[in-house]
Amino acid sequence: MACAALRQLLSLHLRRPASELRWEKAAHGKPYLADGSCHFNLTHSENVAALAVSSQELGLDVEDRTRRVEYLALGKRFFAAPEAAELERSADPRHFFFEVWTAKEAYIKALGDGLTHPLDQFLTRYQGRWGLFDLRGQVLPWHLSRPLCPFPETSAALASREPGPPECFLLTAAGELAALPVASGR
- Write the CATH number for 154: 3.90.470
pLDDT averaged over every residue in the chain: 87
Q: Are residues 71 and 128 in the same domain?
A: yes
Residues 36 and 115 in one domain: no
Q: Is the pLDDT of residue 186 over 60?
A: no
Query: Under a CB-based contact definition with an 8 Å cutoff, are residues 155 and 102 in contact?
Result: yes
When divided into structural domains, the chain yields a total of 2
Q: What is the DSSP string of 136-184?
A: TSPBPS-EEEEE--SSTTEEEEEEESSSSPPEEEEEPTTS-EEE--EEE
94-152 pLDDT per residue, tens: 999 999 999 999 999 999 887 889 999 999 999 999 999 999 999 999 999 998 888 88
* Amino acid (1-letter code) at residue 103: A
Question: Is residue 149 in some structural domain?
Answer: yes
Q: How big is the chain, counted in residues?
A: 186
Is 166 contained in some domain?
Answer: no
Q: Is residue 81 part of a domain?
A: yes
Neighbours of 162 (CB within 10 A): 13
The 8-class DSSP code of residue 54 comes to E
Domain holding 9, by residue range, is 1-40
From the list 181, 176, 183, the residue with the least C-alpha distance to 9 is 176
User: Does 153 fall in a domain?
Assistant: yes
CB atoms within 10 A of CB 128: 6
pLDDT band at 3 (very low <50, low <70, confident <90, very high): confident
Residues 75, 120 within the same domain: yes
Q: Are residues 78 and 114 in the same domain?
A: yes
Residues 119, 121, 124, 128: is their CA dihedral positive or negative? positive
Q: Determine, yes or no, domain membership for 85.
A: yes
Same domain, 15 and 75: no
Same domain, yes or no: 86 and 154: yes
Q: Are residues 35 and 73 in the same domain?
A: no
